[in-house]
Chains A and B, each alone.
Chain A
Amino acid sequence: MNSNLLISVSLVYVAFLFLVAFGADKWARSDRGSWLRSPLVYTLSLSIYCTGWTFYGAVGYAARSGLEFVTIYLGPTLVMVGWWWILRRLVRIGRAQRITSVADLISSRYGKSNLLGVIVTLLAVIGTTPYIALQLQSVTLSLAVFRAEDAGAVAAAAEQPGTALWVAIGLAVFTVVFGTRNLDVNERHHGVVTAIAVEAVVKLVALLAVGVFVVWTLAGGPSDVARIIEESPISAWQIDGGRWAALTFLAAAAFLTLPRMFHVLVVENVDERQLATASWAFPLYLFLMSLFVVPIAAVGLARLPDGANPDLFVLTLPLAEGRDGLAMLSFLGGFSSATSMVIVAAIALSTMVSNHIVMPLWLSFRRGGASMSGDVRNTVLIARRVSIGGVLALGYLYYRFSVGGEALAAIGLISFTGIAQVLPAMLGGLFWRGATRIGAAAGLVAGFTVWSYALFLPSFGATVFSPELMAQGPWGVDWLRPQAFFGIEGMDPVVHALVWSMVVNTTLFFIFSLISFPTPLERLQGAQFVNVLEHAQAGRGWTRGGAEAEDLLIMAQRIMGGGEAQALFRNEAADQGKSGYLPDTTPEFLERLERELSGSVGSATAHAMVGQIVGGAAVSVEDLMAVADETQQMLEYSSQLEAKSEELARTARKLREANTKLTQLSVQKDAFLSQISHELRTPMTSIRAFSEILREGPLEAEAQQKYAGIIQDEATRLTRLLDDLLDLSVLEAGQGALNIQQTNLHNVIERAVAAAGIAGNGLRLGILRDTTREDVAIETDPDRLAQVFINLIANACKYCDATDPKLTIWVSKQRGRLMVDFVDNGSGIPPEAETVIFEKFSRLSDHQKAGGAGLGLAICREIMDKLGGAIAYLPGQGGAAFRVSLPDKADGDARGPAQPT
């Protein structure tokens, strides 16, 4: 196959990608680009995890060690499936704090520390450079395969460095054009992401096509493939448990910490729906990508000559069968894998380099301050572009000087282990408020050192670490041998480096976090990060300082661009109720401005820039206290207000109740007046009538006697009524003095029974008593109490309708009160009347029979109130039953002698 044709096709493909990226950017700016934010595009953009290493190397890996290659995909699968644990937090934090990169995350979490930003950036650059070299190598190697078809030998063609250089330059141009088009990272790189999504589809289709071709065309079906696998050298799965677990963990860790993965996972994320869909769709993508790896490896081993590079089976199998079209597709797949990874890695790394290294340096060189001179916006963009060039140049140089050194997969794992050192600081920062800057720095540096010494430097071979050092340790110190710490031999080098670096990293991270004390800003940020799910409120970092709004506007214009900065300032001023472009520089505004800026230049730089203008017044403990005091005061004030309003409501309620009562009383008073006039008029009418008869004419003595008797009876009734009324009004007005004295209940009851017998027309009522129970000393007004008892007994006399009326008087004690029950054996009081019998003028039976004014029970109630007791109707006793309850003040010495009955 003509390699020139291949190069032409590649160029056309690249041009197509340019068009896609260009179109997507354009769409995104217009309003038609909502599909660019769909979960599908997001999921596909995650596929940059599958690099050229995956595309070609997985088959090679499988051809060497069987199923183990799959661990590289299982780790990310677990992370994605467990998105609720970590990714959801990361994405929330990324949005709330405008995180621009993994270095920015660490820096921002630990008090916007630029030191940590620099460490993570360096770690990322060192860890990613070999990986970029790997991609260049994979493109070059795959091109060389086609050249070999022309020239005859792969090895000879592979030595042409020009290819890698041109690929690197092409990628740099693409990345600069689409990756640094806009500055605000939160606006997201729609062009790049869409191009990557397209590449993701190409590489999946390519690998599936080769897989289908191998399984159904070359092997003849799934069962034949199984047979071929069983007969191949990889039929026996000699599982290395340590490596299996360690690589799964490593892949999961790297998936979270790789700068390019962080970029597509967190920075380019728009909402959580994307994450929820990707949680199963991305594992599915990985599943499909690895489905045919083992069959391709087995068939390749069986059909291709010995010595063929298994890393290139995906390409060489179709070529060997003469399927040039398929080989072309496969090449494009590998090309896509390599280029998409390099593009995103370059964007992520350049963001980190420019935000954490170039910008702080630039700021410190310009002592005049961020607002003084120079276009920051341009500087940032230039810094990014130069960084992209620098990153790719580093990758190219690494490729030039280490070419042919390692199998593809080995470099990949080394790189993974290096970048995984960020994991403790990242997870610690997300879940543990006690994690501090010093702890994170110590852990990172120590882990990085162990990784370099045990894995990275030895990977260069004898040029860096001599064989003697590898075998005997530095200066003959045996237990420091790079691949056998403390003399523990026989471990796989990657597992060895991973375990030791992680152990040292995590241990130091914890120890230094425990013994160091965080700055206020660190503590604020720590709380923000750890509690991001509970309250998404941004932490306060600024106090009301002497910052000049104009200086801030000048600076913001330089970073965000004139229009956006002015819009931001004007909105803020409008919110504050001011016109024009210059709002008050409140802490809230500084906070918001800093967050907006951090989207462009990273949190640490933004913090430093605002700090230069505000006068470096970051928060101090005193400021925090002031803020806390202020909050406390506001809380108190609001709770006072609340209390007051409650009080008002209570008063209003009381007033309403009082009003209701007054109205009721007025109604009662009217009713009372009409009652009383009626009660008075009835006897008066008969007195007047009979007295007129007496005056008018001579009457028989008998009649005269009778009429005078009626007049007297009625007058007596009137007198009694007036007496009762007087009594009641005296009691109600609280004027009647009580004659409280020590006495015995028995005596009072005795007196009442005797008096009632006199008052009634002969005692036709049988009274049952238990006199021994009545022997209780009480302190009360005996006359008044007797009045109550007399009334009750008289009532029973009057109203008990039994043929053989009986009244039971029963004394008991309940809960510290003395109860005297009067229960007769009549038909009792109907339930509907029970509530009214204590009201004035309430009479149940007819007027004449009662012979009273209906004030008796009302008077009883008043008396009992005065005596501190109560009287109530007791339903369900078989007859009318009244219960008089008295406070039981009985003391041993107060017991008076009971008189014998």
Chain B
Amino acid sequence: MAAPREPIYLGRETYRRRRLIDAVRLLPVAGALFFLGPILGSGAGPRSTALGGLYVFAVWFGLIILAAVLGRWLAAAPTGVGSDPLENDVPDGVEPEREGR
């Protein structure tokens, strides 16, 4: 049996939500790149701990703010914060369909 295909075109709302989810997905990748940034050119010699600390903590805080903002936007969906319009969601507390016989 062929797997159900994803729709090719999505409604505007759905489209926006998918892009929001993309942003959520991208966040840790961006965070990892920024956190690994100090490695670049680290062979040249020691740096200032105070400035390095400022950099790391600034990136960290920025990441937290972004995650909070994206999380808030995600929560605006009527189907809940964790729902992806392309997934067949089973809402919390609802047992799988076949339980009902």
Q: What is the interface of chain A, defined by CB distance below 8 A to chain B?
A: 66-67, 70, 74, 77-82, 84-85, 88, 96, 226, 229-230, 234-241, 244-245, 248, 271-273, 275-277, 279-281, 283-284, 287, 291, 294, 533-538, 575-576, 588, 592
Q: What is the interface of chain B, defined by CB distance below 8 A to chain A?
A: 21, 24-25, 27-29, 31-32, 35-36, 38-39, 42-43, 45-50, 52-53, 56-57, 60-61, 63-65, 67-68, 71, 74-75, 80-82, 84, 87-88, 90, 92, 96-101
A857 to B29 alpha-carbon distance, docked (Å): 79
> Are A67 and B82 also in contact (CB < 8 A) when A82-B25, A283-B64, A536-B96 are?
no
**B97: which A residues are within 8 A, CB to CB?**
537
Residues B96 and A77 in contact, CB atoms below 8 Å apart: no
Residues B39 and A239 in contact, CB atoms below 8 Å apart: yes
Nearest Cβ in chain A — how far from B5, in angstroms?
12
Residues A276 and B81 in contact, CB atoms below 8 Å apart: yes
Residues B42 and A241 in contact, CB atoms below 8 Å apart: yes
A536 to B35 alpha-carbon distance, docked (Å): 36
Residues B35 and A78 in contact, CB atoms below 8 Å apart: yes
Residues A534 and B39 in contact, CB atoms below 8 Å apart: no
Nearest Cβ in chain B — how far from A593, in angstroms?
12
Residues B36 and A245 in contact, CB atoms below 8 Å apart: yes
**B50: which A residues are within 8 A, CB to CB?**
226, 229-230, 235
**Which among B43, B53, B57, B87 has the greatest number of chain A C-beta atoms within 10 A?**
B53
Residues A239 and B25 in contact, CB atoms below 8 Å apart: no
**A538: which B residues are within 8 A, CB to CB?**
96, 98
Q: With contacts A248-B35, A287-B60, A287-B61 known, what are 13 further pairs, Cβ within 8 A? A: A70-B53, A80-B67, A96-B96, A226-B50, A234-B49, A236-B46, A237-B47, A283-B64, A294-B49, A294-B53, A533-B84, A588-B98, A588-B99
Nearest Cβ in chain B — how far from A220, in angstroms?
15
Nearest Cβ in chain A — how far from B27, in angstroms?
5
Which 3 A/B pairs are nearest by Cβ-Cβ distance?
A82-B28, A272-B82, A236-B46
A273 to B77 alpha-carbon distance, docked (Å): 12
What would 18 A/B residue contacts be, using CB atoms closer than 8 Å? A66-B49, A67-B49, A79-B28, A235-B49, A235-B50, A236-B48, A239-B46, A240-B42, A244-B38, A244-B42, A245-B36, A248-B32, A248-B35, A272-B82, A279-B67, A280-B64, A280-B71, A287-B64
A240 to B28 alpha-carbon distance, docked (Å): 22
**A291: which B residues are within 8 A, CB to CB?**
57
A875 to B24 alpha-carbon distance, docked (Å): 63
Smallest CB gap from B23: residue in A = A84
**A575: which B residues are within 8 A, CB to CB?**
100-101
Nearest Cβ in chain A — how far from B82, in angstroms?
3
**B49: which A residues are within 8 A, CB to CB?**
66-67, 229-230, 234-237, 294
**A294: which B residues are within 8 A, CB to CB?**
49, 53
**B98: which A residues are within 8 A, CB to CB?**
537-538, 588
A85: which of B28, B64, B71 is its contact (CB, 8 Å)? B28
**B87: which A residues are within 8 A, CB to CB?**
533-534
A271 to B82 alpha-carbon distance, docked (Å): 9
A772 to B97 alpha-carbon distance, docked (Å): 77
**A77: which B residues are within 8 A, CB to CB?**
31, 60, 63-64
**B53: which A residues are within 8 A, CB to CB?**
67, 70, 229, 294
Smallest CB gap from B36: residue in A = A245
A576 to B61 alpha-carbon distance, docked (Å): 55
**B31: which A residues are within 8 A, CB to CB?**
77-78, 81-82
**B25: which A residues are within 8 A, CB to CB?**
82, 84-85
Residues B68 and A244 in contact, CB atoms below 8 Å apart: no
Residues B39 and A241 in contact, CB atoms below 8 Å apart: yes
A273 to B88 alpha-carbon distance, docked (Å): 18
> Are A244 and B39 also in contact (CB < 8 A) when A272-B81, A533-B87 are?
yes
Residues A273 and B90 in contact, CB atoms below 8 Å apart: no
Nearest Cβ in chain A — how far from B85, in angstroms?
12
Residues A81 and B99 in contact, CB atoms below 8 Å apart: no
Smallest CB gap from A285: residue in B = B64
A62 to B43 alpha-carbon distance, docked (Å): 20
A159 to B8 alpha-carbon distance, docked (Å): 70
